[in-house]
Amino acid sequence: MDVTAIKQRFEIIGTSPLLDRALDIAAQVAATDLSVLVTGETGVGKEFIPKIIHTNSVRKHGHYFAVNCGAIPEGTIDSELFGHLKGSFTGAHEDRKGYFEVADGGTLFLDEVAELPLSTQVRLLRALETGEFIRVGSSKVQKTDVRVIAATNVNLSHAIKSGKFREDLYYRLNTVPILVPPLRERPQDIHLLFRKFAADFAEKYKMPVIRLAEDAQNMLEHYRWPGNIRQLKNVAEQLSVLEQTRLVTAQALARYLPADSPLHLPVVYGPEKKAGDDFLSERDILYKILFQLRAEMDELKQQLRNMTDHEPLGGHPQGTMLAHPAEEPVAADEVTEGELLPLETVEESQDLSLNTLEKELIVKVLQKNKGHRKSTAKELGIAERTLYRKIKEYGIE
Protein backbone atom coordinates (compact mmCIF):
# COMPACT_ATOMS: atom_id res chain seq x y z
CA MET A 1 0.00 0.00 0.00
CA ASP A 2 1.27 3.45 -0.78
CA VAL A 3 0.64 6.44 1.43
CA THR A 4 -2.53 7.47 -0.43
CA ALA A 5 -4.03 4.01 -0.13
CA ILE A 6 -3.13 3.90 3.56
CA LYS A 7 -4.84 7.20 4.21
CA GLN A 8 -7.95 5.97 2.44
CA ARG A 9 -8.04 2.63 4.16
CA PHE A 10 -7.52 4.03 7.68
CA GLU A 11 -9.40 7.30 7.15
CA ILE A 12 -6.31 9.31 7.99
CA ILE A 13 -6.68 12.97 7.11
CA GLY A 14 -3.76 15.25 6.31
CA THR A 15 -1.36 16.37 3.63
CA SER A 16 1.59 17.33 5.78
CA PRO A 17 4.94 15.97 4.53
CA LEU A 18 5.83 15.10 8.13
CA LEU A 19 2.78 12.87 8.44
CA ASP A 20 3.37 11.36 4.99
CA ARG A 21 6.88 10.50 6.02
CA ALA A 22 5.69 8.67 9.14
CA LEU A 23 3.13 6.71 7.11
CA ASP A 24 5.68 5.93 4.44
CA ILE A 25 8.17 4.52 6.92
CA ALA A 26 5.39 2.41 8.43
CA ALA A 27 4.52 1.00 4.99
CA GLN A 28 8.12 0.26 4.17
CA VAL A 29 9.03 -1.38 7.43
CA ALA A 30 5.88 -3.53 7.43
CA ALA A 31 7.40 -6.21 5.22
CA THR A 32 10.32 -6.70 7.59
CA ASP A 33 10.09 -8.08 11.09
CA LEU A 34 11.92 -5.18 12.71
CA SER A 35 10.83 -3.64 16.00
CA VAL A 36 9.37 -0.20 15.69
CA LEU A 37 9.17 2.55 18.28
CA VAL A 38 6.48 5.14 17.65
CA THR A 39 6.94 8.43 19.44
CA GLY A 40 4.77 11.51 19.52
CA GLU A 41 2.71 13.60 21.87
CA THR A 42 -0.61 12.42 23.16
CA GLY A 43 -3.43 12.45 20.62
CA VAL A 44 -1.31 12.66 17.47
CA GLY A 45 -2.54 9.38 16.00
CA LYS A 46 0.17 6.98 17.10
CA GLU A 47 -2.27 4.08 17.15
CA PHE A 48 -2.61 4.07 13.36
CA ILE A 49 1.04 3.13 12.91
CA PRO A 50 1.03 -0.39 14.42
CA LYS A 51 -2.24 -1.16 12.62
CA ILE A 52 -0.76 -0.06 9.31
CA ILE A 53 2.31 -2.17 9.90
CA HIS A 54 0.33 -5.24 10.90
CA THR A 55 -2.08 -5.06 7.95
CA ASN A 56 0.77 -4.65 5.50
CA SER A 57 2.91 -7.44 6.91
CA VAL A 58 3.01 -11.18 6.36
CA ARG A 59 1.46 -11.45 9.81
CA LYS A 60 -1.77 -9.84 8.67
CA HIS A 61 -3.74 -13.05 9.16
CA GLY A 62 -2.28 -13.46 12.63
CA HIS A 63 -3.58 -11.78 15.76
CA TYR A 64 -3.11 -8.12 16.55
CA PHE A 65 -3.25 -7.00 20.16
CA ALA A 66 -2.87 -3.52 21.59
CA VAL A 67 -1.85 -3.36 25.23
CA ASN A 68 -1.81 -0.11 27.14
CA CYS A 69 1.05 -0.65 29.56
CA GLY A 70 0.07 2.42 31.54
CA ALA A 71 -3.39 1.08 32.28
CA ILE A 72 -2.39 -2.26 33.79
CA PRO A 73 -1.54 -2.34 37.50
CA GLU A 74 2.12 -3.10 38.18
CA GLY A 75 1.26 -6.22 40.10
CA THR A 76 -0.42 -7.95 37.17
CA ILE A 77 1.51 -6.70 34.18
CA ASP A 78 3.92 -9.64 34.01
CA SER A 79 1.02 -12.02 34.10
CA GLU A 80 -0.87 -10.06 31.44
CA LEU A 81 2.09 -10.10 29.10
CA PHE A 82 3.60 -13.50 29.80
CA GLY A 83 0.82 -15.49 31.48
CA HIS A 84 0.83 -17.29 34.79
CA LEU A 85 0.33 -20.67 36.41
CA LYS A 86 -2.58 -21.43 38.68
CA GLY A 87 -1.71 -20.61 42.28
CA SER A 88 1.32 -18.47 41.43
CA PHE A 89 -0.23 -15.52 43.28
CA THR A 90 -3.42 -14.71 45.17
CA GLY A 91 -6.24 -14.65 42.68
CA ALA A 92 -4.50 -16.87 40.13
CA HIS A 93 -7.26 -19.48 40.11
CA GLU A 94 -6.50 -20.79 36.64
CA ASP A 95 -3.55 -21.10 34.31
CA ARG A 96 -3.62 -18.15 31.98
CA LYS A 97 -1.93 -17.31 28.72
CA GLY A 98 -0.34 -13.90 28.30
CA TYR A 99 -0.28 -11.66 25.26
CA PHE A 100 3.10 -12.97 24.13
CA GLU A 101 1.60 -16.42 23.93
CA VAL A 102 -1.73 -15.58 22.27
CA ALA A 103 -0.13 -13.19 19.79
CA ASP A 104 2.21 -15.94 18.53
CA GLY A 105 2.53 -15.39 14.79
CA GLY A 106 1.00 -11.93 15.07
CA THR A 107 1.74 -8.42 16.24
CA LEU A 108 1.74 -6.91 19.71
CA PHE A 109 1.39 -3.17 20.18
CA LEU A 110 2.79 -2.01 23.52
CA ASP A 111 1.37 1.45 24.06
CA GLU A 112 2.86 3.73 26.74
CA VAL A 113 5.83 1.40 26.98
CA ALA A 114 7.69 3.80 29.29
CA GLU A 115 5.25 2.83 32.04
CA LEU A 116 6.57 -0.71 32.26
CA PRO A 117 8.23 -1.52 35.57
CA LEU A 118 11.94 -2.31 35.33
CA SER A 119 11.47 -5.98 36.17
CA THR A 120 9.01 -6.34 33.28
CA GLN A 121 11.44 -4.55 31.01
CA VAL A 122 13.95 -7.32 31.68
CA ARG A 123 11.45 -10.00 30.66
CA LEU A 124 10.46 -8.01 27.60
CA LEU A 125 14.05 -7.63 26.45
CA ARG A 126 14.55 -11.36 26.71
CA ALA A 127 11.39 -12.07 24.73
CA LEU A 128 12.49 -9.64 22.04
CA GLU A 129 16.02 -11.00 21.79
CA THR A 130 15.41 -14.73 21.98
CA GLY A 131 11.66 -15.17 21.54
CA GLU A 132 11.71 -16.86 24.93
CA PHE A 133 9.50 -16.14 27.90
CA ILE A 134 8.40 -17.79 31.14
CA ARG A 135 4.93 -17.63 32.65
CA VAL A 136 4.75 -16.17 36.15
CA GLY A 137 5.16 -19.01 38.66
CA SER A 138 6.61 -21.38 36.08
CA SER A 139 10.15 -22.41 35.31
CA LYS A 140 9.43 -23.72 31.85
CA VAL A 141 10.89 -21.61 29.05
CA GLN A 142 8.45 -21.14 26.18
CA LYS A 143 8.98 -19.88 22.65
CA THR A 144 6.93 -17.35 20.76
CA ASP A 145 7.10 -15.45 17.49
CA VAL A 146 5.69 -11.99 18.06
CA ARG A 147 6.47 -8.73 16.35
CA VAL A 148 6.54 -5.92 18.87
CA ILE A 149 5.67 -2.33 18.08
CA ALA A 150 5.95 0.06 20.99
CA ALA A 151 4.78 3.62 21.48
CA THR A 152 5.50 6.36 23.95
CA ASN A 153 4.67 10.00 24.47
CA VAL A 154 7.49 10.58 26.92
CA ASN A 155 11.08 11.29 26.14
CA LEU A 156 12.73 7.93 26.69
CA SER A 157 16.24 9.35 26.91
CA HIS A 158 15.12 11.28 30.00
CA ALA A 159 13.62 8.09 31.39
CA ILE A 160 16.90 6.30 30.74
CA LYS A 161 18.92 9.00 32.48
CA SER A 162 16.71 8.85 35.54
CA GLY A 163 16.98 5.08 35.64
CA LYS A 164 13.36 4.33 34.82
CA PHE A 165 13.94 2.79 31.45
CA ARG A 166 16.59 0.28 30.43
CA GLU A 167 18.91 1.54 27.77
CA ASP A 168 19.41 -1.89 26.20
CA LEU A 169 15.65 -2.28 25.83
CA TYR A 170 15.42 1.16 24.28
CA TYR A 171 17.90 0.26 21.55
CA ARG A 172 16.19 -3.06 20.96
CA LEU A 173 12.75 -1.44 20.58
CA ASN A 174 13.97 1.52 18.62
CA THR A 175 15.35 -0.40 15.64
CA VAL A 176 13.12 1.74 13.47
CA PRO A 177 11.90 5.01 15.01
CA ILE A 178 8.74 6.60 13.69
CA LEU A 179 7.90 10.09 14.84
CA VAL A 180 4.30 11.22 14.53
CA PRO A 181 4.35 15.04 14.42
CA PRO A 182 2.24 17.20 16.74
CA LEU A 183 -0.70 18.99 15.19
CA ARG A 184 0.85 22.44 15.55
CA GLU A 185 3.64 21.33 13.22
CA ARG A 186 1.10 20.56 10.50
CA PRO A 187 -1.11 23.64 10.53
CA GLN A 188 -2.29 22.95 6.99
CA ASP A 189 -4.05 19.82 8.29
CA ILE A 190 -5.96 21.50 11.08
CA HIS A 191 -8.85 22.84 9.08
CA LEU A 192 -9.04 19.70 6.94
CA LEU A 193 -9.36 17.60 10.07
CA PHE A 194 -11.89 19.97 11.55
CA ARG A 195 -14.09 19.76 8.48
CA LYS A 196 -13.96 15.98 8.50
CA PHE A 197 -14.87 15.79 12.18
CA ALA A 198 -17.59 18.44 11.80
CA ALA A 199 -19.16 16.40 8.99
CA ASP A 200 -18.95 13.18 11.03
CA PHE A 201 -20.54 14.75 14.10
CA ALA A 202 -23.25 16.49 12.09
CA GLU A 203 -24.23 13.07 10.82
CA LYS A 204 -23.95 11.46 14.23
CA TYR A 205 -26.09 14.07 15.97
CA LYS A 206 -28.39 14.74 13.00
CA MET A 207 -27.63 18.44 13.00
CA PRO A 208 -26.46 20.85 10.30
CA VAL A 209 -22.69 20.88 9.78
CA ILE A 210 -20.87 23.41 11.89
CA ARG A 211 -18.60 25.80 9.96
CA LEU A 212 -15.89 28.22 10.99
CA ALA A 213 -15.81 31.94 10.28
CA GLU A 214 -12.47 33.20 9.00
CA ASP A 215 -11.34 34.55 12.37
CA ALA A 216 -12.21 31.22 13.97
CA GLN A 217 -10.25 29.34 11.34
CA ASN A 218 -7.33 31.57 12.07
CA MET A 219 -7.60 30.92 15.78
CA LEU A 220 -7.79 27.19 15.21
CA GLU A 221 -4.59 27.31 13.20
CA HIS A 222 -2.68 29.32 15.78
CA TYR A 223 -3.73 27.43 18.84
CA ARG A 224 -1.11 25.14 20.36
CA TRP A 225 -3.23 21.96 20.55
CA PRO A 226 -1.59 20.31 23.54
CA GLY A 227 -4.00 17.40 23.14
CA ASN A 228 -3.47 17.31 19.37
CA ILE A 229 -6.01 15.60 17.13
CA ARG A 230 -7.87 14.01 19.99
CA GLN A 231 -8.48 17.50 21.37
CA LEU A 232 -9.43 18.92 17.99
CA LYS A 233 -11.94 16.12 17.54
CA ASN A 234 -13.32 16.82 20.97
CA VAL A 235 -13.69 20.53 20.25
CA ALA A 236 -15.43 19.75 16.96
CA GLU A 237 -17.83 17.48 18.82
CA GLN A 238 -18.62 20.04 21.51
CA LEU A 239 -19.19 22.78 18.95
CA SER A 240 -21.39 20.47 16.90
CA VAL A 241 -23.56 19.71 19.87
CA LEU A 242 -23.63 23.02 21.71
CA GLU A 243 -23.42 25.93 19.28
CA GLN A 244 -26.77 27.20 18.08
CA THR A 245 -25.20 29.46 15.47
CA ARG A 246 -23.73 27.00 13.03
CA LEU A 247 -21.20 29.52 11.69
CA VAL A 248 -18.78 29.67 14.60
CA THR A 249 -16.86 32.87 15.30
CA ALA A 250 -13.50 33.13 17.04
CA GLN A 251 -15.22 34.53 20.06
CA ALA A 252 -17.45 31.49 20.35
CA LEU A 253 -14.58 29.14 19.58
CA ALA A 254 -12.34 30.59 22.30
CA ARG A 255 -14.65 29.14 24.95
CA TYR A 256 -13.69 25.67 23.86
CA LEU A 257 -9.92 26.15 23.83
CA PRO A 258 -8.42 25.93 27.29
CA ALA A 259 -5.22 27.83 27.84
CA ASP A 260 -2.57 25.20 28.40
CA SER A 261 0.08 27.69 29.44
CA PRO A 262 0.08 31.42 30.09
CA LEU A 263 1.74 31.93 26.75
CA HIS A 264 -1.08 30.33 24.88
CA LEU A 265 -4.18 31.94 26.24
CA PRO A 266 -6.65 31.86 23.41
CA VAL A 267 -6.95 35.33 21.95
CA VAL A 268 -10.49 36.57 21.82
CA TYR A 269 -11.34 38.63 18.78
CA GLY A 270 -14.50 40.47 17.94
CA PRO A 271 -16.94 42.59 19.92
CA GLU A 272 -17.66 42.07 23.58
CA LYS A 273 -20.41 39.63 24.12
CA LYS A 274 -23.95 40.81 24.71
CA ALA A 275 -25.58 40.74 28.10
CA GLY A 276 -27.94 37.83 28.44
CA ASP A 277 -25.67 35.60 26.46
CA ASP A 278 -26.16 32.35 28.28
CA PHE A 279 -22.74 30.92 27.57
CA LEU A 280 -19.66 31.22 29.73
CA SER A 281 -17.86 34.54 29.63
CA GLU A 282 -14.12 34.92 29.35
CA ARG A 283 -13.92 35.49 33.07
CA ASP A 284 -15.70 32.19 33.53
CA ILE A 285 -13.20 30.51 31.28
CA LEU A 286 -10.43 31.76 33.50
CA TYR A 287 -12.27 30.44 36.52
CA LYS A 288 -12.64 27.18 34.74
CA ILE A 289 -8.92 26.93 34.16
CA LEU A 290 -8.32 27.76 37.80
CA PHE A 291 -10.83 25.15 38.71
CA GLN A 292 -9.12 22.47 36.67
CA LEU A 293 -5.77 23.38 38.16
CA ARG A 294 -7.27 23.00 41.53
CA ALA A 295 -8.79 19.62 40.73
CA GLU A 296 -5.34 18.49 39.61
CA MET A 297 -3.85 19.80 42.80
CA ASP A 298 -6.43 17.94 44.87
CA GLU A 299 -5.58 14.77 43.07
CA LEU A 300 -1.88 15.31 43.56
CA LYS A 301 -2.44 15.92 47.23
CA GLN A 302 -4.39 12.71 47.49
CA GLN A 303 -1.53 10.85 45.86
CA LEU A 304 0.95 12.39 48.27
CA ARG A 305 -1.29 11.47 51.15
CA ASN A 306 -1.58 7.88 49.98
CA MET A 307 2.17 7.69 49.78
CA THR A 308 2.74 9.02 53.26
CA ASP A 309 0.01 6.74 54.58
CA HIS A 310 1.97 3.81 53.23
CA GLU A 311 5.23 4.89 54.80
CA PRO A 312 6.38 2.40 57.41
CA LEU A 313 6.41 3.60 61.02
CA GLY A 314 9.28 5.94 61.58
CA GLY A 315 9.17 7.02 57.95
CA HIS A 316 8.88 10.61 56.86
CA PRO A 317 6.54 12.61 59.03
CA GLN A 318 3.74 14.38 57.17
CA GLY A 319 4.82 17.66 55.76
CA THR A 320 8.36 16.75 54.91
CA MET A 321 9.53 17.19 51.38
CA LEU A 322 8.67 14.10 49.38
CA ALA A 323 11.75 13.95 47.31
CA HIS A 324 11.10 10.77 45.37
CA PRO A 325 7.56 10.77 44.12
CA ALA A 326 8.78 9.58 40.76
CA GLU A 327 8.47 5.88 41.67
CA GLU A 328 4.73 6.39 41.48
CA PRO A 329 3.16 6.59 38.06
CA VAL A 330 2.95 10.35 38.03
CA ALA A 331 3.76 11.54 34.53
CA ALA A 332 7.25 12.96 34.64
CA ASP A 333 6.34 16.14 32.83
CA GLU A 334 3.52 16.95 35.23
CA VAL A 335 5.54 17.00 38.39
CA THR A 336 9.13 18.02 38.58
CA GLU A 337 11.11 16.68 41.47
CA GLY A 338 11.99 19.29 44.02
CA GLU A 339 9.07 21.47 43.06
CA LEU A 340 6.66 19.70 45.33
CA LEU A 341 5.38 21.69 48.24
CA PRO A 342 5.27 20.31 51.74
CA LEU A 343 1.79 18.99 52.44
CA GLU A 344 0.89 21.70 54.91
CA THR A 345 1.64 24.48 52.48
CA VAL A 346 -0.58 22.81 49.95
CA GLU A 347 -3.39 22.56 52.51
CA GLU A 348 -3.12 26.22 53.45
CA SER A 349 -3.32 27.40 49.90
CA GLN A 350 -7.01 26.55 49.76
CA ASP A 351 -8.31 29.94 50.57
CA LEU A 352 -11.88 30.99 51.00
CA SER A 353 -12.22 33.30 48.04
CA LEU A 354 -11.25 30.48 45.77
CA ASN A 355 -14.04 28.43 47.31
CA THR A 356 -16.52 31.18 46.56
CA LEU A 357 -15.41 31.38 42.94
CA GLU A 358 -15.57 27.65 42.66
CA LYS A 359 -19.07 27.49 44.07
CA GLU A 360 -20.25 30.25 41.74
CA LEU A 361 -18.85 28.48 38.75
CA ILE A 362 -20.38 25.13 39.67
CA VAL A 363 -23.78 26.75 40.08
CA LYS A 364 -23.44 28.48 36.75
CA VAL A 365 -22.38 25.43 34.81
CA LEU A 366 -25.05 23.35 36.51
CA GLN A 367 -27.65 25.88 35.42
CA LYS A 368 -26.30 25.89 31.92
CA ASN A 369 -26.57 22.13 31.83
CA LYS A 370 -30.04 22.21 33.38
CA GLY A 371 -28.84 20.43 36.48
CA HIS A 372 -27.40 17.53 34.51
CA ARG A 373 -24.42 16.44 36.57
CA LYS A 374 -22.63 14.26 34.12
CA SER A 375 -22.36 16.98 31.49
CA THR A 376 -21.54 19.57 34.15
CA ALA A 377 -18.62 17.49 35.41
CA LYS A 378 -17.46 16.96 31.85
CA GLU A 379 -17.58 20.65 31.07
CA LEU A 380 -15.71 21.50 34.24
CA GLY A 381 -13.14 18.88 33.48
CA ILE A 382 -13.57 17.11 36.80
CA ALA A 383 -14.73 13.65 37.77
CA GLU A 384 -18.44 13.22 38.45
CA ARG A 385 -17.48 11.91 41.86
CA THR A 386 -15.64 15.15 42.60
CA LEU A 387 -18.62 17.19 41.45
CA TYR A 388 -20.96 15.32 43.80
CA ARG A 389 -18.57 15.90 46.66
CA LYS A 390 -18.35 19.62 45.93
CA ILE A 391 -22.11 19.99 45.55
CA LYS A 392 -22.47 18.45 48.97
CA GLU A 393 -19.62 20.46 50.47
CA TYR A 394 -21.01 23.77 49.27
CA GLY A 395 -24.61 22.81 49.93
CA ILE A 396 -25.64 23.54 46.35
CA GLU A 397 -29.26 22.75 45.54
What are the residues whose beta carbons fall under 8 Å from the beta carbon of 328, sequence distance 6 or more? Answer: 303, 307
In angstroms, how far is CA 283 from the centroid of its own chain? 28
Name the one range near ligand ADP by CB under 6 A: 42-50, 95-103, 249-257, 362-370.
Answer: 42-50
**163/177 with CB nearer ligand ADP:** 177
CB-nearer residue toward ligand ADP: 173 or 387 = 173
Number of residues that bind ligand ADP (CB under 6 A): 15
Alpha-carbon torsion (157, 163, 167, 170), positive or negative:
negative
Task: State yes or no: residue 192 binds ligand ADP (CB under 6 A).
Answer: no
Considering the rule CB under 6 A, would residue 147 count as an interface residue with ligand ADP? no
- Check residue 258 for interaction with ligand ADP (CB under 6 A): no
Sequence-distant (≥ 6) Cβ neighbours of residue 207 within 8 angstroms:
201, 240, 241, 246
CA separation for the pair 77, 98 (Å, rounded): 9
Contacts of 220 (CB under 8 A, 6+ apart): 190, 191, 194, 212, 232, 253
Name, in order, each residue with C-beta under 8 angstroms of 105's C-beta and a sequence gap of 6 or more.
Answer: 59, 62, 63, 145, 146
Residue 23 or 128 having the CB closest to ligand ADP? 23
**Part of the chain binding ligand ADP (CB under 6 A), chosen from 21-29, 46-54, 139-147, 314-322:** 46-54
Residue of 51, 166, 233, 255 that binds ligand ADP (CB under 6 A): 233
Helix (H) or strand (E) holding 254: helix 250-254
Q: Which of 25, 29, 39, 40 touches ligand ADP by CB under 6 A?
A: 40
Q: Does 47 bind ligand ADP (CB under 6 A)?
A: yes
- CB nearer to ligand ADP: give 220 or 343: 220
Least distance to ligand ADP, CB of residue 293, Å: 23
Rounded least distance, CB 233 to ligand ADP, Å: 5
Query: What is the C-alpha to C-alpha distance for residues 197 and 191, in angstroms, rounded to an integer?
Result: 10
Phi, psi of 258 (to 5 degrees): -65, 145
Name the 3-class secondary structure at 202.
Answer: helix
Stretch that binds ligand ADP, among 8-16, 56-64, 66-74, 376-384 (CB under 6 A): 8-16
- Give me the residues that bind ligand ADP (CB under 6 A), please: 12-14, 40, 42-48, 193, 229-230, 233
